[in-house]
A and B are shown apart, each in its own frame.
Chain A
Amino acid sequence: MGKRLAWTIAVVFLSSVLGLALAAHPEAQQLEPIKEINLTSFPQGQQPWVYQQALMIAENWRKLGLKVRLEPLNIPNPLIQRVFKDKDFDATMMEGSGLLDRLDPDFFLYTVFHSSNAGPGAWNLSGFNDQEYDKLAEAQRKEYDLEKRREIVWKCQEVLHKHVPWIVTVNNNAIQAYNQADFKDPAISVSGFYDAITLFTIKPTGDRKIFRYGSSLSDLKTINPLVFNESDQFVYIYSIYDTLVRINPQGKPEPWAANALETVNERTIDVTLRDGMKFHDGKPLTADDVKFTFAYLAKHNPVYLQKKIECVESVEVLSKDKVRFRLKEPYAPFIALTLGLTPILPQHIWEKIEKPHEHRNVPPIGSGPFKFVHWRETQEFMMTKNPEHFSPPYVDGVLFVFYGTAEAVNTALIKKEVDSETLVTPQQVEDLKKLSHIRILNLPTHTTDGVIPNIRRKPFDDPKFRLALAHAAPRQQIVEEVFFGFAEVGGSMIARYNQFWHNPNVKPYPYDLEKAKAILKEAGYRWNEKGELCYPPK
């Protein structure tokens, strides 16, 4: 009996000692290393600055003990399929281009982060799903009062900053160059020379009155407002066609073809047209054309404009120059986006066209400040000043010359064969600086680069993990090494450039690997003997 007792005590004693020993060394428990992260990106050949950022991000994540596999995907195929449609990635590098229609914060706040947009094909790539945020994003959409809307927009940015569904790295600058010996004073908006407004405002200084625009396209793909879909086509479309409202270089909507707007109630807006507007073929532009435009576009699914007009429920003609828009629901971006980007089509031409997507639309007849002259495919596209326009341009005309590559435009600018170059690359700036007749504009933009974690997958579903990663992005290094200094460290989803909407209290996260590790440790993550980062033990 004594022996048995002694044995029992010994066993209990030993097991408790063992248990204590194990408890005292939690690392000795089974640690589950985080499996390899699949980081997708645009490829080197198409967007080298995004790819180089991906390399640097992957490097830094490895320093945290993560295993990263960098997978470049071609755009459009298969990147759009994998990343946008199937959402099949662990994390992806992304660039939210700073387009004219994205100055309104609705895109970067609602389209990209509202939970309803997380389905296949939509922009909420991370799968961010936060009820509080959803309510805020919906609210900013419906608030017509600018100050009140701004407050909500600021709050949205703070919530996003806390949850990090998009690790912002930098905001790229757009470098533009033009011939300052012969031209001056272009009003430059965020899209640089892609925005028609530069052509409306540029003034000739000497005898030469035709502005030669160097295009890196090998050809304009289309001049059909229902078919165009890329920002480099904006400048052609919006020179020839008028919109009711125009987004000015600071990002604020201004009256254009409309000279008065009246918000009757939150779903009804009355628009008064200017007097005496005519199409290039001499026929007058009336409220009927406006009504026709919206009805026609709604019927025929225009590629780019579809999204812009879907908020419109109906358009009613109140008088010869007054139109009433009824919206499906209150939608604050209506004025900037729908009225600002929908070209007014001449009813007497388009009502006869049954298959608009196949219509070549040459010559394009609009009412804009420029009239179409000719289009020699793969060579040039010519427009001339429309002197009867209510705001005629200062130049006599614009000749777009197609060079096919950015390099060729650069050479042409240097040789004085053209007067402008959009999207100058940092490599080219050195050579251009040496030339006195060229003026280089280094413009901050609201293009937002970064890494989007897939919140549907572990460990990205942990906000602390994402926060740690946010401290592991070498932003300043990216600005200097990838962008040659032509970018800005980014913090908020609404870039600093977008002054009215940007929340200055949302500051970029510092690059601090030690802090990142501290955050991980505090959240329970551990490193095993091999240095691999492991999930918090259960």
Chain B
Amino acid sequence: MQRLAMAACTLFFLATVLFVLFRMLPGDPTMTVLSSALDPEVQKEMRHRFGLDRPLLEQYGIYMKNLVMGEFGVSFQHGVKAYDIIAEKFWNTILLMLPSLCLAFLLGILVGSYVAWKRGSLLEKGVVTGSVVFRSAPEFWVAIVFIFVFAVQLDIFPSGHMRTPGYKSTGTIEVYLSLDFLYHLALPMLMMALYYCCYPLLVMRTAMLEVMGEDFIELCQAKGLSQRRVIFKHAMRASLLPIATSVSLLGAYATAGSVLIETVFSWPGLGRLMVQSVLYSDYPVAQACFLLIGAMVVLGNLLSDLLYGILDPRIRYR
């Protein structure tokens, strides 16, 4: 499985780059606390606690070993394990991204195929133009505009955060299934779905147009099958390949974009945690976030490649 090896290599590479960046370039990671980290005694203590006083190569070895075991170290800022801090935020990000991407794909496929069906109409031109223009806008700005219109001006949705603070939840499941959570999820999900659906929309449309132009369809028509059935059955299956590969690509892209969107919506997820930990030089947490995001992107690309390999009929019959 060459692809798998490639993916693992990428992760290894990312981790190493991170290590190099954080350890070798200027900037002492113990400089996080103003009053105390300056005292040479306390500094020595902190360096020892974070293992920074050992030789570089040994640090690298420990670092890699820890990573493999899922041990991300102790947060400089919080004094607790980075893993604990990240675990919850990770699920918050997943819970935002998965529904949004599902919706995005649903929208993209439906609208894309409908618009291909209505080829040449004003609607098609409008939707395609709209998608292109929409995609030209930076995602964080679109998020701001959405909040401005729907939350501030129209007051339909809350302007951010994951739940109303002070909300008393009895259990983890209840937290995420509550109406309050859904209320806060609605706007970011809507925004992400509309923003990210443009890509599958255009892919679907192109794929369907290609299929629709083939003799294959004409043959089916000649056989007397209803046009609609023909389209939706055969064309859809044929466009499955580009859509499938774009799923994981979009997933990768959206993960990286979560850094921006979560910041605008104050959504307590991995992306926002990453920005904050980088800003405050909490290196263990920043490293862990980055690796996690990187891993998700790499996974997305890997999945995309694998799906391509599985679904491409030409490759299958080789």
Which residues of A come within 8 Å of B, CB atoms? 45-46, 74, 76-78, 80-81, 84-85, 120-122, 212, 218, 221-222, 224, 227, 229, 301, 303-304, 306-307, 357-358, 360, 376-380, 399, 401-405, 408, 411-412, 417-418
Contact = CB atoms under 8 A, between A and B. Distances in A.
Contact of B33 (A122, A229, A380): A229
Contact of B31 (A80, A303, A360): A80
Contacts of A380: 166, 168
B268 A378 contact: yes
B87 to A, nearest CB: 11
What's the dominant secondary structure at chain A's contact region?
A: loop
Contact of B29 (A77, A303, A358, A377): A77
A411 B159 CA distance: 10
A307 B39 contact: yes
Contacts of A303: 33, 36, 42
B185 to A, nearest CB: 17
B41 interface: yes
Contact of B165 (A81, A221, A377, A402): A402
Q: Which of B28, B165, B266 is packed against the most chain A CB atoms within 10 Å?
A: B165
Contacts of A85: 28, 31, 38
A76 B36 contact: no
Contact of A122 (B38, B42, B159, B164): B38
B77 interface: yes
A303 B160 CA distance: 34
Q: For the side of the interface on B, what is the size category? A: 35 or more
Interface in B148-197: 159-161, 164-169
Contacts of B79: 221-222, 224, 227, 357-358
B281 interface: yes
B35 A77 contact: no
A451 to B, nearest CB: 19
A81 B26 contact: yes
B165 A304 contact: no
A378 B88 contact: yes
A306 B38 contact: no
Given A222-B79, A222-B80, A408-B161, 13 more contacts: A76-B281, A78-B31, A80-B31, A81-B31, A85-B31, A122-B38, A229-B36, A304-B36, A307-B36, A307-B39, A378-B88, A399-B166, A404-B268
Contacts of B266: 404-405, 408
B166 A121 contact: no
Nearest to B34: A80
B32 interface: yes
A212 to B, nearest CB: 7
A40 to B, nearest CB: 15
Q: Which of A224, A360, A408 is packed against the most chain B CB atoms within 10 Å?
A: A408
A121 B281 CA distance: 18
B279 A74 contact: yes
Contacts of B45: 301
A394 to B, nearest CB: 22
Nearest to A74: B279
Interface in B42-81: 42-43, 45, 49, 74, 77-80
A412 B40 CA distance: 42
Interface of B: 26-29, 31-43, 45, 49, 74, 77-80, 88, 159-161, 164-169, 266, 268, 279-281
Contacts of B166: 212, 379-380, 399, 401, 412, 417-418
Contacts of B49: 357
B42 A306 contact: yes
A77 B26 CA distance: 10
Nearest to A355: B49
A85 B37 CA distance: 10
Contact of A84 (B29, B34, B167, B281): B34
Contacts of A411: 159
Contacts of A78: 26-27, 31
Nearest to B28: A81
Contacts of A378: 88, 268
8 nearest CB pairs, A to B: A121-B38, A77-B281, A80-B31, A401-B166, A227-B79, A303-B36, A221-B78, A403-B165
A224 B41 CA distance: 20
Contact of A408 (B27, B34, B37, B160): B160
A254 B143 CA distance: 52
Given A78-B27, A85-B28, A227-B79, A307 B165 contact: no
Nearest to A221: B78
A104 B154 CA distance: 51
A422 to B, nearest CB: 16
Given A76-B281, A412-B165, A418-B166, A218 B39 contact: no
B245 to A, nearest CB: 37
Contacts of A418: 166
A417 B35 contact: no
A395 to B, nearest CB: 17
A46 B281 CA distance: 13
A78 B281 CA distance: 9
Contacts of A46: 279
A221 B77 contact: yes
19 contacts: A45-B279, A76-B33, A76-B280, A77-B281, A78-B26, A80-B37, A84-B31, A122-B38, A221-B78, A222-B80, A229-B36, A303-B42, A358-B74, A379-B166, A379-B168, A403-B161, A408-B165, A408-B266, A417-B166
A299 to B, nearest CB: 12
B42 A301 contact: yes
Nearest to B44: A301
A511 to B, nearest CB: 30
A453 to B, nearest CB: 20
B36 A401 contact: no
Nearest to A400: B166
A418 B167 CA distance: 12
A304 B34 CA distance: 10
A404 B161 contact: yes
Given A380-B166, A418-B166, A76 B32 contact: yes
Given A78-B26, A408-B266, A417-B166, A304 B35 contact: yes
B24 to A, nearest CB: 14
A151 to B, nearest CB: 29
Contacts of A301: 41-42, 45
A99 to B, nearest CB: 9
A327 to B, nearest CB: 19
B99 to A, nearest CB: 21
A121 B40 contact: yes
B268 A218 contact: yes
A478 B261 CA distance: 35
A76 to B, nearest CB: 5
Contacts of A360: 80
Contacts of A227: 79
